[in-house]
């Protein structure tokens, strides 16, 4: 059940980014895409909590922390949307898999916690995969799109630590709700400068973007309720299958040859990090595990959604 829910979440996320790319190609600006992705989630989440008599889950004493998480998360969403619009979907997806690599770097360089040879090896391996895909000086991949994709990995890794801190006191659904609400408020400031009239079909597209992103969040949360993180997180890599399929079916676009070589290397690095975190969690004391700095929350396809 957990694996099925997680795979369903990846289908929804891949669908959302396909819709984002399609909308971007049909004249919808990036601020509009980000606003409607966030704004559509707010009434859906609020109505669901109200209907299930669980509105109390939104209570929090850490509203400033949620606002700070929303600032960072919205920047991540900008990177994700930019990568989806500018890059072929499989490449944008693969670059998102770098989040666990950056989480290791944050653990070691910012939090000054111990990182062993297994995870350092995985980091080196993962960035070698990025270089293979990017082919500096030789590739036709847009530089701005590449920067957006790598930036998304950095931001997702950073947000994972913020979410872990917020989850100590607040319900996961509260984290999602406040992120969506604050993110919509932040990006609404730009709407007077970027919003434009759209045909009914485009409005349906924007609704679908918000609905698919919200459903993905529900499925991710549900998978973690019935399964272990180390078990379900590996399923995030199936998003490469769905993004490749959407890229081919909708945009007649298949990944360049180097992506087929670099993507498995990055995925292997992420799996090594996930396995190592699972191993440490099972074989050392809780205090030592905290000292090691768990980074399982840096899901390779959380991607600021």
pLDDT given at position 273: 81
Nearest to 261 by CA among 91, 72, 144, 141: 91
Of the pLDDT bands very low, low, confident and very high (cuts 50, 70, 90), residue 283 is low
**Separation CA 155–CA 293 (nearest Å):** 17
- Sequence-ordered strand ranges (E) for the chain: none
CA–CA distances in Å: residue 197 to residues 31, 192, 238: 14, 12, 36
**Separation CA 57–CA 92 (nearest Å):** 34
pLDDT given at position 200: 92
- The total number of residues written for the chain in this structure: 305
Q: What integer is the mean pLDDT of 43-72?
A: 91
**Separation CA 150–CA 124 (nearest Å):** 15
Instruction: Examine the pLDDT at 303 and tell me if it is beyond 80.
Output: no
pLDDT given at position 293: 38
pLDDT given at position 275: 77
CA–CA distances in Å: residue 97 to residues 187, 205, 233: 26, 26, 11
How many Cα atoms sit within 13 Å of 23 on the Cβ side? Answer: 31
DSSP state letters, 142-168: -HHHHHHHHHHHHHHHHHHHHHHHHTT
User: pLDDT tens-digit profile of 67-119?
Assistant: 999 999 899 999 999 999 999 898 999 888 888 888 888 888 877 777 788 88
pLDDT given at position 300: 58
User: pLDDT tens-digit profile of 207-219?
Assistant: 999 999 888 888 8
pLDDT given at position 281: 66
- Angle, to 10 degrees, between the axis of helix 89-96 and the axis of helix 2-25? 130
pLDDT given at position 184: 93
Please tell me what DSSP assigns to residue 111: S
How many Cα atoms sit within 13 Å of 270 on the Cβ side? Answer: 31
């Amino acid at each position: 059940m957990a694996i099925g829910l997680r795979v369903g979440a990846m289908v929804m996320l891949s669908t959302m980014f396909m819709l984002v790319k399609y909308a971007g190609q049909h004249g919808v600006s990036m601020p509009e895409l980000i606003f409607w992705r966030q704004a559509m989630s707010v009434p859906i989440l609020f109505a669901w909590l109200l209907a299930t008599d669980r509105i109390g889950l939104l209570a929090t004493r850490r509203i400033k922390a949620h606002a700070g998480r929303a600032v960072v998360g919205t920047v991540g969403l900008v990177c994700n949307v930019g990568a989806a619009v500018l890059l072929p979907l499989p490449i944008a997806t693969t670059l998102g898999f770098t989040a666990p690599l950056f989480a290791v770097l944050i653990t070691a360089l910012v939090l000054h916690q111990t990182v062993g040879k297994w995870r350092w090896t995985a980091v080196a391996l993962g960035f070698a995969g990025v270089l293979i895909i990017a082919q500096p000086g030789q590739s036709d991949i847009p530089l701005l799109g590449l920067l957006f994709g790598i930036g998304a990995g950095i931001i997702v890794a950073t947000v994972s630590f913020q979410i872990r801190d917020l989850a100590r006191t607040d319900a996961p659904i509260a984290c999602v709700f406040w992120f969506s609400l604050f993110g919509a408020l932040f990006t609404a400031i730009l709407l007077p400068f970027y919003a434009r009239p759209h045909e009914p079909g485009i409005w349906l597209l924007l609704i679908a973007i918000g609905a698919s992103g919200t459903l993905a969040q529900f499925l991710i949360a549900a998978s973690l309720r019935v399964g272990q993180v180390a078990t379900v997180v590996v399923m995030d890599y199936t998003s490469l299958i769905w993004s490749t399929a959407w890229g081919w079916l909708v945009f007649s676009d298949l990944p360049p040859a180097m992506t087929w070589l670099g993507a498995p290397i990055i995925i292997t690095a992420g799996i090594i990090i996930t396995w190592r975190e699972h191993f440490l969690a099972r074989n050392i004391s809780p205090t030592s595990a905290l000292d090691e700095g768990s980074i399982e929350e840096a899901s390779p396809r959380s991607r600021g959604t």
